[in-house]
Amino acid sequence: MAKIDGIQLGFRTVPITELQTIKGVSFPAHVRFRQLLITGPPGAGKSTLIRRLGGWSEEGYVDLSLNRWWSAQALAVRPREIHLGFPCEGFKDALAVFDEGWNRSLTPPELDLERIKVPPAKRYFFSVNWRARYSFEFLIPPPEILFRQREKRARQGTHHVDDAVTLEKVRDQVTIYRLAAQYLYQQGLTVYIREGTEGDLLRFTEAECD
């Protein structure tokens, strides 16, 4: 298993078998509707899923490098689509994968895990359990499928984020989202992956990859 600064990477994902249906959409059985925060790379289907659920229509943004991002106003209404700002090696400010700084970088920005802030564990009876307040769904289709979806949008000219999209760029974006998902899971947050709007639901497992 690979490591970055002592943090293990490469946990397996396995299908989630205990499911419930919310407004015609399958979710893990333990997830509550008002916990849901849906994130993922451009073109993954976040807005489509939010519309199906009747969730909050406006997109939010969270900078994972900021102290107490978990108490941001953007997270107050749920279900909601959330864009993530990632702390990256060599960049002072966090980057979203559609930011100019990301797109102009000559090499794919690398996630700086040590700068990701994590909610504290619940210590007292009356304190807020921030780690349990949210359920992060990382909507991450396989790169090849996501690339085809974004190519189609590029031809239609509906989303400027798809200008000059390449499979390599899509793979880089998928990688950083998967790394962030695994890191938040390892820190005790509720995290799972959906492989596209009609794809399988996956959870991380402690079993190492071969």
Average pLDDT over every residue of 97-123: 93
Tell me whether residue 49 is in a domain.
yes
Look at residue 3 in the predicted model and tell me its pLDDT.
Answer: 38
Identify the residue with better confidence: 125 or 62. 62
For helices 143-156 and 167-186, the axis angle rounded to 10 degrees is 130
Q: Which of 9-13, 79-83, 155-159 has the lowest mean pLDDT?
A: 9-13
Tell me whether residue 125 is in a domain.
no
Are 44 and 140 in contact, with CB atoms under 8 Å apart?
yes
Cα atoms in the 13 Å half-sphere on the side-chain side of 75: 20
Tell me whether residue 73 is in a domain.
yes
Q: Which domain holds residue 13?
A: 2-118+130-208
Tell me whether residue 123 is in a domain.
no
Look at residue 1 in the predicted model and tell me its pLDDT.
Answer: 32
Tell me whether residue 98 is in a domain.
yes
Task: Supply φ then ψ for residue 25, to 5 degrees.
Answer: -115, 135
Average pLDDT over every residue of 35-45: 97
Q: Which of 4-13, 33-42, 186-195 has the lowest mean pLDDT?
A: 4-13
Band the pLDDT of 145: cuts 50, 70, 90: very high
Torsion, Cα 209 3 116 96, to 10 degrees, reads -70
Measured distance between the N- and C-terminal CA atoms of the chain, rounded to whole angstroms? 8
* Residue 87, pLDDT above cutoff 50: yes
DSSP helix, strand, coil percent of the chain (3-state; round to 5): 30, 30, 40
Identify the residue with better confidence: 136 or 7. 136
Tell me whether residue 79 is in a domain.
yes
Tell me whether residue 149 is in a domain.
yes
| Token pair belonging to 186 | 């390892």
Look at residue 208 in the predicted model and tell me its pLDDT.
Answer: 53
**Number of separate domains in the chain:** 1
Tell me whether residue 165 is in a domain.
yes
Cα–chain center distance at 200: 15
Average pLDDT over every residue of 45-64: 96
Q: Which of 202, 167, 180, 182 is nearest to 43 (CA)?
A: 167
Look at residue 207 in the predicted model and tell me its pLDDT.
Answer: 55
Q: Which of 5-9, 17-21, 155-159 has the lowest mean pLDDT?
A: 5-9
Band the pLDDT of 10: cuts 50, 70, 90: low
Are 15 and 200 in contact, with CB atoms under 8 Å apart?
yes
